Amino acid sequence: MKRVFIHTFGCQMNVNDTMRMSEALASMKYSPTPVAENADLIILNTCSIREKAEDKMLSALGRYRQVKLQRGALIGVGGCVAQQEKNRILEKVPYVDFVFGPDAIQKLPEILQRVEADRVRVVETAWVDSESYVFPRADPSTSRGKATEFVTVMKGCDNVCSFCVVPHTRGREVSRPFTDVLTEVASLTTVGVREVTLVGQNVNSYLGGISFAQLLLRTAEVPGIERVRFTTSHPHDLSDELVEAFRLQPKIMGHFHLPVQSGSDQVLVRMRRDYTVVEYLERLAKLRAARPTIAVTTDIIVGFPGETDEDFEKTYALTEQVRYAGQFSFVYSPRPKTGAAMREAEWGSVPHEVKVARLEKLNALQKRISSELNAQQVGKTVQVLVEGSSRTDATRRFGRTEHNTTVNFDGDAPIGALVQVQLASSSAASLSGKQVSIESMPSVLIPEVAAVPEVCLT
Ligand code: 5AD
Ligand code: SF4
C-alpha cells in the first residue's frame, strides 16, 4: 500500500473534491496519510479565490519539495490554481509531476499511471462543460462516523461577478440529475448521516430536472434525513418557491447564507451583481416572513476598486440593519482575467491600509452583533445534532443548532443523536450549555474512534 497526503485549500467544493480524489486513488492502492513526510504522493488541492490562497499554495509546495528529495514522493497540483495557471506552475516549479483541473479527478489513476510508468509530466485540465459530465459519486463508507455530510449538486458558475475567478476556474454551470443526488443522500443515511448540506457555487440556479426548492423538499423526505442545508446562493435567483420551501418544511434548517458583497448600489453595479440593496432587502424580508427566526449570514468584500468612504459606510450600515448572524468579509484582491482586475486602474485602487482599516471596522461590528444575537439565546433550550466531542474540551460534546451555530455542551449522547441543549453562556462564535434530553437516537451507532484526518485544511 502506498500513501497519499492531500493538502486542501479553499471552499467546501474543494473539500468534497479531496474526498473524491482519495476514493479515486484507493483504486491505485493509495491510502491517506495525515503526515506529508510519510507520503509517496503529495497532492495540493488549490484555491485561487484570493491572492493569499495562491501564495499559501506556493509556500506549501516549497515545503513538500524536501519530501520529494528525501523519499522521491510524486507531487501533483489540482484544483482552481491548477486549472488557471497550469503553464506557470510547470514553468515555475520544476518538481511538480502533474497538474490536473477540477474536472479531471476521475482521471487521477490514469494520470498517475502515466507519471509512474513514463516519468513524464502530465497536464490534464480539460473542462467537461455539458450535461454529459458525470459527477463523481461519494463512497458512503468514507462518511462513516459523521452525522452530517456535504453532497455536490452542481458545479461551475454562469454569473459574471467582476471580482470572481470561479467562472474561469470551474467553467459553466452543470447540474447533477436530481435522481443521482437523492440516491447519494439515501446511501449516506445507511452509514448514519442525518444531516446533508447541498453544495454548489450557485445552488439556487440548479437545473437538474426539478427546481432547487423541489430538490430541497425531496431531500428532506429521504428516510433517515432529519436536517437539510445548502450553500451558496446568489441573491438574484432567490425565488419565491425557495422562500416557500422554508415555510413548508421544518427540516430545512433556519440558516441562509446570502452573500451581499457590498451595501452600495454603485459598487454592486461595478461588481455586476445584478441586484440593488433595496431588492436584496426585499428578498430578505420575504424570507424572514416565511421563517421569522432564520439566521442570515453573508460575504462582504471591502476595498473593491473605486469604493469610497461613503460606499463603505453603506456596507457598515447594511450590516447594522440586517443584523447578520455572521459574515465572512475579505479585502478585495485582483484576480487574473476578471473584469474588475482589468478596470482597476480606471476605477481606482483602494490603498491597502484603507482596505485593512475598513475590514477591521466591519469585523468589530459583526463581532458585536454576533455576540448580541448569541447572548439572546442564553436560557433557551435548542435542538442540536451531535457531531462528536468538543474540540476545546474532549469531555464535552459538540454540535450545531438549526442556525448553524456551534454548541459545546455537557452530555453523553452519541454522534448522530438529536438532543435538546439548555444554553447557559455564549460568545461571538459559539454557545455553551448542557444536554437536557435526547430527542432521537441515530439508526446507526457510530463508534467514537480518533479519526485519522484525511484532509489537511489551511
Ligand atoms: N477578492 C476578495 N474576495 C473575493 N471573493 C471572491 N472573489 C474575491 C476577490 N477577488 C469573496 C466573495 C465570495 C467569497 C467566496 O469570496 O465575498 O462570496
Ligand atoms: Fe477557491 Fe472558488 Fe475554487 Fe472554491 S471554487 S477553491 S472558493 S476558487
For every residue of 417-444, DSSP letters joined together read: -EEEEEEEEE-SSEEEEEEEEEEE--SS
Task: Name the residue with the closest Cα to ligand 1, atom 2.
Answer: 332
What is the number of the ligand 1 atom nearest to the C-alpha of 328?
Answer: 17
Per-residue b/e over 393-429, b at no fewer than 16 CB within 10 Å?
A: eeebbbbbbbbbbbbbbebebbbbbbbbbebeebeee
- Pairing verdict, β 154-155 and 174-175: antiparallel
Report the distance separating Cα 436 and Cα 438, nearest Å: 7
Q: Which three cell numbers stand for residue 305?
A: 476598486
Report the distance separating Cα 346 and Cα 123, nearest Å: 36
- Pairing verdict, β 74-78 and 41-46: parallel
Q: Which three cell numbers stand for residue 161?
A: 461577478
355 lines ligand 1 (CB under 6 A): no
What is the number of the ligand 2 atom nearest to the C-alpha of 170?
Answer: 5
pLDDT digits (tens, 9 = 90+) for 385-395: 999 999 889 99
The angle at the Cα of 47, spanning 114 to 2, to the nearest 5 degrees, equals 40
Q: How many residues appear in the chain?
A: 458
Task: Name the residue with the closest Cα to ligand 2, atom 5.
Answer: 166
pLDDT digits (tens, 9 = 90+) for 109-166: 999 999 988 888 999 988 776 667 888 888 888 888 899 999 999 999 999 999 999 9
Report the distance separating Cα 181 and Cα 24, nearest Å: 19
What is the number of the ligand 2 atom nearest to the C-alpha of 48?
Answer: 8
What is the SS3 assignment for 99?
strand
Q: Using pLDDT thresholds of 50, 70 and 90, give the confidence band for residue 382.
A: very high
The angle at the Cα of 208, spanning 204 to 212, to the nearest 5 degrees, equals 30
259 lines ligand 1 (CB under 6 A): yes
Nearest CA to 120 out of 86, 84, 96 is that of 96
Task: Name the residue with the closest Cα to ligand 1, atom 13.
Answer: 299
Residue 457: is its pLDDT beyond 70? Answer: no
Residue 448: is its pLDDT beyond 50? Answer: yes
231 lines ligand 2 (CB under 6 A): no
pLDDT for the residue numbered 136: 80
161 lines ligand 2 (CB under 6 A): no
Q: How far is the CA of 64 from the centre of ligand 1 (A)?
A: 28
Q: How far is the CA of 267 from the centre of ligand 1 (A)?
A: 14
Q: Using pLDDT thresholds of 50, 70 and 90, give the confidence band for residue 58.
A: confident
pLDDT for the residue numbered 447: 66
169 lines ligand 2 (CB under 6 A): yes
CB 316 within 8 A of CB 278: no
234 lines ligand 1 (CB under 6 A): no
Ligand in closest contact with the CA of 200? 2
Among 56, 80, 165, 333, the mutation site with the greatest number of ligand 2 atoms within 8 A of its Cβ is 80
Can you name the residues that pair with 433 across neighbouring β-strands? 409, 423
Q: How far is the CA of 171 from the centre of ligand 1 (A)?
A: 17
User: Average of pLDDT values for 188-216?
Assistant: 94
Task: Name the residue with the closest Cα to ligand 2, atom 6.
Answer: 47
Task: Name the residue with the closest Cα to ligand 2, atom 1.
Answer: 47
Report the distance separating Cα 225 and Cα 149, nearest Å: 11
What is the SS3 assignment for 251?
coil
> In the block, which residue shows the cell 452519541?
414
Q: Which three cell numbers stand for residue 246?
A: 422554508
Nearest CA to 272 out of 340, 332, 225 is that of 340
What is the number of the ligand 1 atom nearest to the C-alpha of 340?
Answer: 10
Task: Name the residue with the closest Cα to ligand 1, atom 7.
Answer: 164
Hey, what amino acid is at 114? R
pLDDT for the residue numbered 269: 98
Residue 452: is its pLDDT beyond 50? Answer: no
Q: Which three cell numbers stand for residue 96?
A: 511538480
Maximum average pLDDT range among 40-44, 79-83, 90-94 = 40-44
Averaged pLDDT score across all residues of the chain: 93
Cα–Cα distance list, 457 to 7, 46, 139, 244, 421 (Å): 6, 11, 21, 36, 30
332 lines ligand 1 (CB under 6 A): yes
- Tell how far CA 338 is from the center of its chain: 22
Nearest CA to 279 out of 313, 244, 230, 237 is that of 237
pLDDT for the residue numbered 36: 94
User: Average of pLDDT values for 217-223?
Assistant: 98
The angle at the Cα of 367, spanning 365 to 371, to the nearest 5 degrees, equals 120
Q: How far is the CA of 79 from the centre of ligand 2 (A)?
A: 8
pLDDT for the residue numbered 449: 55
CB 4 within 8 A of CB 22: yes
Q: How far is the CA of 1 from the centre of ligand 1 (A)?
A: 40
What is the number of the ligand 2 atom nearest to the C-alpha of 53?
Answer: 1
pLDDT for the residue numbered 53: 78
Task: Name the residue with the closest Cα to ligand 1, atom 16.
Answer: 49
pLDDT for the residue numbered 451: 47
Hey, what amino acid is at 197? T
Q: What share of the chain is helix, strand, coil (3-state, %, to 5)?
A: 40, 25, 35
User: Average of pLDDT values for 322-334?
Assistant: 97
Q: How far is the CA of 407 from the centre of ligand 1 (A)?
A: 28
301 lines ligand 1 (CB under 6 A): yes
Residue 54: is its pLDDT beyond 90? Answer: no
Report the distance separating Cα 371 and Cα 367, nearest Å: 6
pLDDT for the residue numbered 137: 80
Nearest CA to 287 out of 325, 235, 257, 244 is that of 244
12 lines ligand 1 (CB under 6 A): no
User: Average of pLDDT values for 18-46?
Assistant: 93
Neighbouring residues of 427: CB distance < 8 A, sequence distance ≥ 6? 371, 374
- Pairing verdict, β 148-152 and 154-155: unpaired
